[in-house]
């Protein structure tokens, strides 16, 4: 008898615990990537403050397994699901969650009507930061080489903003709008393209700046300028993303002067805030929530 009472008390405590603690599944195929790890750590830190149980599930690159794990999380009746994967590819799972009334939050996932919201960085804002930096540094005057990639929508958006900023300065001329071949990662071909542009414009001062929509072409352009021995002409280079190689180049104090870093941990924390809001029953109006980015120059590149 005593045992049954104890047993039922324990069962009660267990089920009550399950009722009180919010249960959240974070599902991604990309946990091995440094950015994703930072998102997840930011999310966990924020979730720990609220006392949630967080189950981080890495499917090691397998996108179909993300759908399977979303289904399992729905079966398990978690309170919310957070994904870091292209929502279009896991739509089958998102539909299951929607049918079960379980909210799904995107953590830099891309926006989708099946998501409660998506938390990410504002690509337009990042491009505005670096293109305005370029325009200011060259005094609103001179020839600019742009490296863009219009086939990939998030990068295309960056190019549009830089186009507008440079067009707004009557004395800035866009010398070339280059789309590098990115098969090898983008550095090598950008370097080759930049070498050709340098050869075509041999006069010192004929190129005032290189604006790149992401870091790899900026690094390629830097290599080309240094290889041509023209690093002394004051050509200003900017990138976007502030990857470790770019930070190193910026810290070295050469032509590569600035980039913009996404706040990965901040995105994770903001995703946790969003999850908290939807779990309280709020409908988030914005399909995308933007987290501020940080300009990286020689001053803070080493941080």
Partner 1 sequence: MNFRSFSTALRQWGTFLGLLAIVVFFAWRLPETFPTAQNFLNISQQISMLAVAAFTMTIVMVMNDFDLSVGSTASLAGIVAAVLFAAGQPVWVGVTAALAVGVLGGVFNGFLVAYIGILPFIATLGTLTMFSGAAFMISDGKTIFGRDIPTEFAGFARFGIPLDAIGLEGAKLPLMTLAAVVVLLMVWLLLEQTTFGRRLYAIGGNRVAAELAGINTRRLRLMAFGLTGLGAAVAGLMYASRVASANPTQGAGLMLDAIAAVFLGMTMGREGEPRVLATLVGVLILGILDNGLTQMNVDSYVREILIGAIVVSAVAISAFGQRRG
C-alpha 34 chain-centroid distance: 11
Shortest spacing between CB 232 and partner 1, in angstroms: 38
The values of phi and psi at residue 291, to 5°, are: -110, 135
**Cβ of residue 97: shortest distance to partner 1, in angstroms?**
12
- Token code pair at residue 77: 């009746």
71 binds partner 1 (CB under 8 A): yes
Q: Does residue number 65 form part of the binding site for partner 1 (CB under 8 A)?
A: yes
Q: Does 68 bind partner 1 (CB under 8 A)?
A: yes
In angstroms, give the least distance from the CB of 100 to partner 1.
Answer: 10
Adjacency order of strands within the sheet including 104-107: 53-58, 23-28, 80-83, 104-107, 117-121, 288-291
Residues 75-104 that bind partner 1 (CB under 8 A): 75-77, 86, 88-92, 95
Does 62 help bind partner 1 (rule: CB under 8 A)?
Answer: yes
Least Å distance, CB 98 to partner 1, is 13
Asked whether position 176 contacts partner 1 by CB under 8 A, the answer is no
16 part of the interface to partner 1, by CB under 8 A: no
Integer CA distances (angstroms), 302 to 159, 189, 278, 298, in order: 27, 27, 37, 8
Minimum CB separation of residue 68 from partner 1 in Å reads: 4
Going by C-alpha positions, the residue among 191, 109, 185 that lies closest to residue 154 is 109
C-beta neighbour count of 219 within 10 angstroms: 25
Q: Which CB sits closer to partner 1, 92 or 302?
A: 92
Other C-beta atoms lying within 10 Å of the C-beta of residue 200: 11
Of residues 235, 223, 292, the one with CA closest to residue 263:
292
Give the residue among 270, 163, 272, 144 at the shortest CA–CA distance from 209: 144
Work out how close the CB of 297 gets to partner 1 at its nearest, in angstroms, rounded to a whole number.
Answer: 33
Which of 22, 39, 43, 67 touches partner 1 by CB under 8 A?
Answer: 67
Q: How many residues bind partner 1 (CB under 8 A)?
A: 31
The closest of 29, 32, 26, 28 to 54, measured between CA atoms, is 26
Interface stretch with partner 1, choices 69-77, 129-137, 208-216, 221-229 (CB under 8 A): 69-77
Q: Is 136 in the site for partner 1 (CB under 8 A)?
A: no
Helices (H), 51-180: 63-75, 91-99, 123-137, 153-167
Choice between 29 and 123, CB closer to partner 1: 29
* Nearer CB in complex with partner 1: 88/196: 88
Site for partner 1 in 180-239 (CB under 8 A): 183
* Site track for partner 1 across 22-61, x = CB under 8 A: -x-------x---------------------x-xxxxxxx
Concatenated DSSP letters of 149-169? -TTSHHHHHHHHHHHHHHHTS
Interface stretch with partner 1, choices 63-71, 127-135, 136-144, 223-231 (CB under 8 A): 63-71
Q: Could you tell me which of 241, 111, 119 has the C-alpha nearest to residue 185?
A: 241
Binding positions for partner 1, rule: CB under 8 A: 23, 31, 53, 55-65, 67-69, 71-73, 75-77, 86, 88-92, 95, 183
């Amino acid at each position: 008898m005593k045992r049954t009472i104890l047993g039922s008390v324990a069962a009660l405590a267990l089920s009550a615990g399950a009722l009180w603690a919010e249960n959240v599944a974070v599902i991604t195929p990309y946990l091995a990537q440094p950015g994703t790890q930072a998102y997840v750590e930011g999310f966990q830190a924020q979730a720990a403050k609220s006392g949630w149980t967080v189950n981080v599930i890495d499917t090691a690159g397998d996108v179909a397994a993300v759908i399977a794990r979303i289904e399992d999380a729905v079966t398990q009746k978690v309170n919310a699901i957070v994904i870091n994967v292209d929502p279009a590819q896991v739509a089958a799972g998102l539909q299951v969650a929607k049918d079960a009334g379980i909210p799904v939050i995107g953590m830099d996932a891309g926006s989708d009507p099946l998501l409660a919201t998506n938390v990410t960085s504002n690509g337009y804002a990042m491009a505005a930061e670096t293109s305005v930096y370029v325009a200011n540094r060259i005094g609103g005057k001179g020839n600019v080489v742009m490296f863009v990639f219009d086939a990939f929508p998030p990068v295309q958006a960056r190019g549009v903003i830089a186009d507008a900023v440079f067009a707004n300065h009557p004395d800035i001329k866009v010398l070339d709008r280059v789309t590098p071949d990115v098969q090898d990662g983008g550095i090598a071909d950008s370097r080759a393209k930049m070498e050709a542009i340098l050869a075509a414009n041999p006069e010192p001062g004929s190129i005032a700046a290189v604006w790149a929509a992401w870091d790899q072409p900026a690094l390629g352009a830097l290599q080309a300028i240094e290889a041509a021995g023209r690093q002394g002409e004051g050509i200003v280079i900017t990138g976007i993303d502030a990857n470790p190689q770019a930070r190193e180049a910026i810290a070295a104090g050469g032509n590569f002067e600035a980039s913009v870093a996404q706040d990965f941990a901040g995105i994770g924390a903001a995703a946790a805030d969003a999850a908290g809001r939807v779990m309280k029953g709020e409908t988030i109006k914005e399909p995308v929530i933007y987290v501020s980015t940080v300009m990286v120059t020689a001053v803070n590149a080493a941080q």
